[in-house]
Structure 1
Amino acid sequence: MLRAVRLVAVLLVVLLGAVWGVAWFGRAPGESVSDAFLRQVAAWTGGDMPAPSAGGVQLAQGVSLGGPFTLVDQTGRTVTERDFAGRPLLVYFGFTYCPDVCPTELGTIVAALDAMGPAGERVTPVFISIDPERDTPAAMADYVSRFHPRMIGLTGSAEQVAQAARAYRVYYAKARSRDTTEYTMDHSSFIYLVGPDGRVRSLFRPETTPEAIAAAVSAQLRAL
């Protein structure tokens, strides 16, 4: 019995190695080996997992991100996901006191829109705060104006922000130092491409280049 279990384990390792090899040599331009591997597994098992756009992370089959939210924009107006219906978005969750990652990723969004030329005007950049205690509408208005004239800043109550973060599966938490009353925020750092239906079409890892994001978004726009 033990010999049979070992044989099955060896065959499984060999099979997975073969699939990994096929994924390595057969991956699409801009596709990571891991994404190509998942695509091969899905294809061999009868699943449906399209190849990801260049620069984007492939969502696992059955995973859906995005959805209903109620927040407040930088003018103080209450908005919901319905206010953005029919408009592709590039969304980032962060906070205005963020020292480095947030301004870097927002700058990447702006550079990607610029790289897209006129097509970039179809996409609305959105910055959602995960620090509603400090990020008032006025603070958001000042902050987003430094990046792009069309960038929308969204904040709200702690409950409203938590609801939006859950919809996009965003992690965030306060991080306090022992010797000060000040705090910063730990948070995940993905850029989300949201389709006109309010659902995430692709997401981009931190430090993805503007060119890769521009290529992926342009491909998605052509498919709309």
Structure 2
Amino acid sequence: MLTDSKPATWKAALLFVATGAGLYFYFENEKEKLRLKKIAEQSTKSIGKPSIGGPFNLVDADGKPFTDQDLRGKWTLMYFGFTHCPDICPEELDKMGAAVDLIEQKHGLGAVLPVFISVDPARDSVPQVKQYIQDFHPRMIGLTGDYESVKRACKSYRVYFSSPPNVKPGEDYLVDHSIFFYLMDPLGQFVDAFGKATSAHEVSVKTMDAMKRWEAAGGNKAAGV
């Protein structure tokens, strides 16, 4: 017995058209994604690295003048905090010190310099900073200064900090501030930033990767390292 094959033929044709349309839109969508990715990459290249870092004039834990020029030629991990911080600052400085130890196991002592800069000049005197940094790393540099000097340093490094208004002398208070630390290269240029979620191991790996790329690109020669 003969059967009508037209319905089956139409169904096959519709399925073919639908499949073709689906594939067309899929590939067009993928092309658009690639185009947007390319634009984003070009934009990143044209913009360059964030403008983080610059001149500062502070004093170290021995009361001696210390500027950004004293960090040139060195890899630096830099954290902005305050000595009366109850938890976050100690945790981040412990992590930074641990990362330095991991890096020095492969690159030797002094391969990277840990730096603590106070954002609480009203309470963080030179003796206070000197005592504070001893708890974290034997080669940590502690820096402080007057309010305007600290403010200029924070501005150079795009660091936010704020203390409560109308604080009376001797009154205890907390300072609101940025809670990440920076990796700076021997030319004082920003390389990376690490937040609370980044472990000491991850910091050390990323730092050593940056050092390897820097050396391969001839950075040591350019910086006189």
Q: Same fold (TM over 0.5)?
A: yes
In 1: Cα distance, 2:164 partner to 2:43 partner: 45
Q: What residue in structure 1 maps to residue 200 of structure 2?
A: 210
- The alignment status of 1:91 with 2:78, answered yes or no, reads yes
Distance apart, 1:175 and its partner CA: 3.2
- With over 3 angstroms needed to count, the CA separation of the structure-2 counterparts of 1:165 and 1:214, relative to structure 1, is same
Greater than 3 Å deviation, 4+ residue runs: 175-178
Give secondary structure in 2 for the equivalent of 1:143.
helix
In 2: Cα distance, 1:41 partner to 1:104 partner: 39
Q: What residue in structure 2 maps to residue 66 of structure 1?
A: 53
Q: How many residues align?
A: 183
Instruction: Return 5+ residue gaps in structure 2 as ranges.
Output: 1-27, 215-225
Work out which of the residue numbers 104, 122, 126 in structure 2 matches 1:137: 126
- The alignment status of 1:48 with 2:52, answered yes or no, reads no
Q: How does 1:24-35 map to 2 (within 5 A)?
A: none
Q: How does 1:110-129 map to 2 (within 5 A)?
A: 110-116=97-103, 117-119=105-107, 121=109, 122-129=111-118
In 1: Cα distance, 2:178 partner to 2:44 partner: 29
Counterpart residue type for residue 107 of structure 1: D
- With over 3 angstroms needed to count, the CA separation of the structure-2 counterparts of 1:94 and 1:173, relative to structure 1, is same
**Alpha-carbon contact 2:57-2:66 (below 8 Å) kept:** yes
The structure in which a higher percent of residues are helix is 2
**Alpha-carbon contact 2:100-2:113 (below 8 Å) kept:** no
- With over 3 angstroms needed to count, the CA separation of the structure-2 counterparts of 1:48 and 1:144, relative to structure 1, is same
**Alpha-carbon contact 2:160-2:177 (below 8 Å) kept:** yes
Indicate the percent of aligned positions where both proteins have the same amino acid. 38
TM-score by length of 2: 0.73
- With over 3 angstroms needed to count, the CA separation of the structure-2 counterparts of 1:40 and 1:111, relative to structure 1, is farther
In 1: Cα distance, 2:194 partner to 2:159 partner: 13
Q: What residue in structure 1 maps to residue 20 of structure 2?
A: none
In 2: Cα distance, 1:221 partner to 1:144 partner: 25
In 2: Cα distance, 1:46 partner to 1:211 partner: 31
- With over 3 angstroms needed to count, the CA separation of the structure-2 counterparts of 1:47 and 1:166, relative to structure 1, is closer
Q: What residue in structure 1 maps to residue 151 of structure 2?
A: 162
Q: What residue in structure 2 maps to residue 189 of structure 1?
A: 179
- When the two chains are superposed, the root-mean-square deviation of aligned CA atoms in Å is 2.9
- With over 3 angstroms needed to count, the CA separation of the structure-2 counterparts of 1:143 and 1:181, relative to structure 1, is closer
Instruction: Return 5+ residue gaps in structure 1 as ranges.
Output: 1-13, 23-36, 50-59
Residues 28-64 of structure 1 show CA distances to partners (whole Å, capped at 9, x for unaligned) of xxxxxxxxx9x75422x46528xxxxxxxxxx73521
Q: What residue in structure 2 maps to residue 106 of structure 1?
A: 93
